[in-house]
Structure 1
Amino acid sequence: MKAKSRPPSRKPLSKILWSGFGAFLGIYLVAIFGYYFSIEDNFFLLGSFGASAVLIYGAPQADFSQPRNIIGGHVLSALVAVCLLKVFSSVFSTELLCALSVSVSIMVMHFSRTMHPPGGATALIYVMGNEHIHALGWVYPFTPIGAGALIMLLVALLVNNLSQNSQRHYPTYWW
């Protein structure tokens, strides 16, 4: 358990400010979109999008932050959660479905090369959700999840490429 190295140094102020600006704009636009287009309780503003904001605005060069990972990780994990709940809700406990939704989502993201850690939260949110979220059924992977992830991605493309720092330019790869 002994540390092998020192922590990395603090990022430059410009990177910190760009990250904060991107996260603010991305989350704000998802919230505004949800306010005008969701039926009830702003379903668009989910905790997993906060984690996505950390990745795509704070670490835009990371593999987990690339477009295929953002969209694929969220949408595939949401599909897994809906499928598991629809097929096994009468057989398995909520606790077991929670564990299955995250573990199967991780395996699907590995197989599809779309690993995006917030995808696990997207699956868990659906399984743990209330009757309003469950009522979305097969719509959940596309809206709020797909639409919200797409809004976050579009903001990441704009904000990360406005920076003068070429190491911040985004994406590293599309597909």
Structure 2
Amino acid sequence: MRRLITRHQPLFPCACWFKAGLGGGLGIALVAWLAQVSGQPFLIAPLGASAVLLYAAPSSPLAQPANVVGGHVLAAVVSLILRDLLPMDWWSVGLAVGVVMGLMVALRLTHPPAGADPIVVFMTDPGSAFLFAPILGGSLLLVALAFVLHRLPPRTAYPLSAAPPPPDGLPTEPIDDVV
């Protein structure tokens, strides 16, 4: 039972959690402002989850620019295609999420919030504009703010430096160690 309630996340100094909250609030406020001035639906729930990773866990491989933008774009493109090909049924949404997850892992663009993009697509049927208005614009704005924010004290290395690939090109650790 103790393992279920043990917190594995390290304790951060006040400045770090304050900066994380500031980044998340400012990032989502900027996306909401962009939605208001443009009249486009930039604000979607998965971007809120992206903000948590970008500003509270910037060292995570899942919070890197390629993962955030690439994961959302991949999820949106695949979801829009599947939405056109599949009937609107309970199993279609599950299939879309599964296909998106598999492709994100295979392409090393895993970004958990992007796993919710197929749900948004299947619930709202937004059309191809979804790729540009909330997905590309929103994720690029959040990543741009992360570049700026993580240069403020206390500084955080963001994005991570490129690690040299393993000799055979395949990871040696299990997937749980990577995420």
User: TM-score normalised to the size of structure 1?
Assistant: 0.85
Per-residue CA deviations over 1:34-78 (Å, capped at 9, x if unaligned) read 111134xxx211100110011000000001000000001111101
Structure 1 residue 87 displacement after superposition? 1.1
Determine if contact 1:56/1:156 at 8 Å carries over to the other structure: yes
CA-to-aligned-CA distance 1:63-115 (integer Å, 9 cap, x gap): 100000000111110111100111113xxx43112101111110110121100
1:169 aligns with 2:157: yes
Aligned residues: 162
Partner of 2:173: none
Higher helix share: 1
- In structure 2, the residue matched to 1:110 is 105
Q: Which runs of 5+ in 1 are unaligned?
A: none
- Which stretches of structure 1, 4 residues or longer, exceed 4 Å deviation after superposition? none
Aligned residue for 1:12? 13
Q: Cα 1:37–1:4, aligned 2, differ >3 Å: closer, same or farther?
A: closer
CA distance in 1, matches of 2:26, 2:93: 31
For the 8 Å contact 1:61–1:172, the answer to whether it is kept is yes
Displacement of 1:10 after TM fit? Answer: 2.7
Report the TM-score, using the length of structure 2 for normalisation: 0.83
1:174 to partner: Cα distance: 6.9
Partner of 1:47: 45
Q: What are the ranges of 5 or more consecutive residues in structure 2 without an aligned counterpart? A: 164-179
In 1, Cα distance between equivalents of 2:49 and 2:13: 21
Q: How do 1:21-170 residues align onto structure 2 when only pairs under 5 Å count? A: 21-39=22-40, 43-89=41-87, 93-129=88-124, 134=125, 136-165=126-155, 168-170=156-158
